[in-house]
Structure formats: C-alpha cells, structure tokens
Amino acid sequence: MNKPESIATRGRPREFCVDYALAQALRVFWTKGYEGASLTDLTEAMGITRPSLYAAFGNKESLFRKALDLYEREKMAYVGQALAQPTARKVAETMLRGAVDNVCGGDSPHGCMRVIASVNCGPAESIHDEIIQRGNLAKQAIIERFDRAKAEGDLPANINSEGLTRVLIAFLQGVSIQANMEASREDLDLLIETALDLWPSA
C-alpha cells in the first residue's frame, strides 16, 4: 500500500504511493482541521519530506482539497445511498446511521471533517467558502428529495422541505459536534433514535 504505482515515466521514480500518502493526510486533516494540521504533522504521517509533498500535491491548501475530495468520495458515500432510499424516513435514517458509523468507525477520528474544517479553517477563507458551497449542493439535493417525497405522499404536504432539510442537517451536525465532545457510540445512537422518533410520518 505504501509503494509507488509506477506508470513508467521519465526521471527518478517517486518512492511513495500518492494515494496512501493522501489517505494519511486525510487522517491528519480530519483530526486536526486545516489550520491545526501543520506541515510537520502532515509529512510525518505521510512518511515523506516537505519538497516531495509540494511536488506531488502543490501546497497545503491544494492538498487539503484533494483530501476533502477523497473524504467525500469514500467517507460520505452514505449520502448518495440515503438519497436513493424509497421514503423520506429511510433517507433520514440512512443518513443518520451513516453519519454515526462514519464518526465512530474504528480508528477514525471524531466528527465530520466538513464541520470541523468549516469552523477550523482559519484565515484560508477560500476553504471556508468551498465547504459552504459543497454543503449547499448536498442541501439542495436533500430539499429536492423531500419535495419528491411530498409528491409521492410519504411526507406530509404541509411540511416545509427546506425547513426539514435544515433540521436533518442539524441532526447530522449534532452527531458530529457531540462526537467531537467525546460522546460514545451509545450516546449518538440514542440521539439519532430519538431524532427518528420525532421524524414526521405520512
């Protein structure tokens, strides 16, 4: 896993695996946020030196973006699965359980990387903006899914889709923040079970 992928190129071949290094960088950013992760933290975790990092990933900010891409691709697959569920309740349930799994998963750090990074991005304003933008895309997708659910009759017609979406997102953010505040898996399960008890029925 930690070896090059060697696609026959010129010059001295890279001595580390870019994907593995990126995965390690993701772990660091995930636990410490953007500002909290220093280049020393990153290079030590990735097992490479500073110039190698800059040659392979550009700079800290573009490394973070690549790590965020990886995070959304691998760790937030449950969002897509959730949207594909047949009912609004199943959408919420899949998303909430996915969030808890994501946050409690074995050696994984605590909290959602997007939430952590949005608060902890420091002076890198563009990162904050990008996270907001990505979040708004997801929010829109959920709103449209709930609109469809209302049309299909598995959500009461008097429900405000955007309001319910913001509530669901608040639950997800609650999972993230409470996990970051040392809530156990049982605590988080209790949170989402109670949340699902409150969820509107058709």
Partner DNA sequence: CTCCCTCTGTACTGACCGGTACAGAAAGAT
Partner DNA sequence: ATCTTTCTGTACCGGTCAGTACAGAGGGAG
Binding site for a copy of itself (CB under 8 A): 33, 35-36, 111, 115-116, 118-120, 122-123, 131-132, 135, 159-160, 162-164, 166-167, 169-171, 173-175, 177-178, 180-183, 187, 190-191, 193-195, 197-200
What is the C-alpha to C-alpha distance for residues 45 and 5, in angstroms, rounded to an integer? 19
Q: Measure the N-to-C terminal CA separation of the chain; round to a whole number of Å.
A: 49
Q: Which of residues 47-66 bind DNA (CB under 7 A)?
A: 48-52, 54-56, 59-61
Distance (Å) of CA 9 to CA 13, 56, 195: 7, 15, 54
Check: CB of residue 166 under 8 Å from CB of residue 87: no
Structure tokens belonging to residue 170: 């608040």
Check: CB of residue 143 under 8 Å from CB of residue 162: yes
Q: How many residues bind DNA (CB under 7 A)?
A: 26
Check: CB of residue 86 under 8 Å from CB of residue 79: no
Q: Does 162 participate in binding DNA (rule CB under 7 A)?
A: no
Pick 2 or 136: Cβ nearer DNA: 2
Q: Does 12 participate in binding DNA (rule CB under 7 A)?
A: yes
Pick 9 or 133: Cβ nearer DNA: 9
Which of DNA, a copy of itself, none is residue 198 near (CB under 5 to 8 Å by kind)? a copy of itself
- State the residues that interact with DNA by CB under 7 A: 8-16, 35, 37-41, 48-52, 54-56, 59-61
